[in-house]
Structure 1
Amino acid sequence: MAMAGDGRNIGVAVDFSSCSKNSLRWAAANLAAAGDRLILIHVKTSYQYEHGVAHLWEHDGSPLIPLVELSDPRVGNIYGVAPDRETMEVLARAAAQRGVHVFAKVLWGDPARKLTEAVHKVPLQCLVVGNRGLSTVKMVLMGSVSTYVVNHAACPVTVVRENMPPSALTTTY
């Protein structure tokens, strides 16, 4: 997808939590530039074949879903993804004010592994992930997606902490 002279493919891991929304706001405000493609990478851990078409794309993920289609509830039902209003507003502002092309890609499986695979499959020039700030004990017991991605992704990875001050998450374009 990336060709000489084109903008970058900037991946942002999203699960529509407050943490991932902070990451999205940070990427849109501080990283994305005109001509870049801001690609939301959403990993679903469960397969619900009866409600969607995950079985068609379970290996490589969904095709890239343009912003205009992402806001359509019918498309959301097909891929099992439903971005909230706040996320859609951030994406619409990035597209309108920054000249960024917005897409989403849905993957199915283990989030840590699928995010690192997306670097090659999309391909991505950089990836932004959130970090919920788990305690050491919780991180040892549950693992950390951001830690895994930082250690295994073959591109630069930016980790945006959930408790970053609002001034660091400015959405002024």
Structure 2
Amino acid sequence: MEADRRVGVAVDFSPCSKAALRWAVENLVRNGDHLIVVNVQKEGHYQEGVTQLWEATGSPFIPLSELSDSGIAKKYGVKLDAETLDILTTVARQKEVIVVLKIYWGDAREKICEAIDSIPLSCLIIGNRGLGKLKRVLLGSVSSYVVNNGTCPVTVVKSTDHAS
């Protein structure tokens, strides 16, 4: 595991997921690691052909060099913002980390747990939106679910930035 660490970060491009990505890059990712950015899209926001090809297994690994391509964004229904791309590009250059994006479609709780097993990930970092007790009961907490059901070590990064 040490020679080929696959560090996963669940990212939905919200402020709390960017905080989790920054935390992973600053505190966990080491030279030579694979940084796997796991993104889960709601069903129905991608080109028709993608549904049949990758609905069960998720997208193929998308390398960092292709993440700013508008064709990739349209094909998979995801667009990385400049801040996230900057974080990923910097860590790839400074720590010689291989960065790839893997996209799933469906329920975030289930698909992130699937990613842990199918990739497989050595560990996973996920942000916490800081939902209040009532919203957490009604909506369910993705991070709580993944902590309780994931098969690898999971670190939850609490975001203190609720202004964004």
TM-score interval for Structure 1 and Structure 2 normalised by the shorter chain: over 0.9
Say whether residues 1:128 and 2:131 are aligned partners.
no
SS at match of 1:53: helix
> Are the counterparts in 2 of residues 11 and 40 from structure 1 also a CA contact under 8 Å?
yes
TM-score, normalised via structure 2 length: 0.93
**Could you tell me how far apart the structure 1 residues matched to 2:47 and 2:35 are?**
30
Contact 2:12 2:39 in 1 (8 A): yes
Partner Cα distance (1:77, 1:163) in 2 = 32
Normalising by structure 1, we get a TM-score of 0.88
CA distance in 2, matches of 1:50, 1:67: 21
Alignment partners' CA distance in 2, 1:90 and 1:20 = 12
Q: Does 1:92 align with 2:86?
A: no
What is the SS of the residue equivalent to 2:59? coil
- 2: distance between equivalents of 1:51 and 1:93? 34
The one-letter code matched in structure 2 to 1:152 is N
Cα 1:47–1:72 shift into 2, 3 Å: same
Aligned residue-pair number: 161
Q: What SS is found at the alignment partner of 1:154?
A: coil
Structure 1 residue 50, shift from structure 2 partner: 4.2
Q: Offset at 1:6?
A: 3.4
Shift in alpha-carbon separation, 1:7–1:143, aligned structure 2, 3 A: same
1:52 and 1:78 in contact (8 A); partners too: no
Aligned AA for 1:28?
A: V
Change (3 A) 1:5 1:153: closer
2:113 is matched with which residue: 109, 113, 116?
Answer: 116
1:8 aligned to 2:10?
Answer: no
Give the equivalent residue in structure 1 for 2:67: 70
Distance in 1 (alpha carbons) for counterparts of 2:156 and 2:2: 27
| Residues 47 and 76, structure 2, Cα contact 8 Å, conserved in 1 | no
2:102 to 102, 105, 116: 105
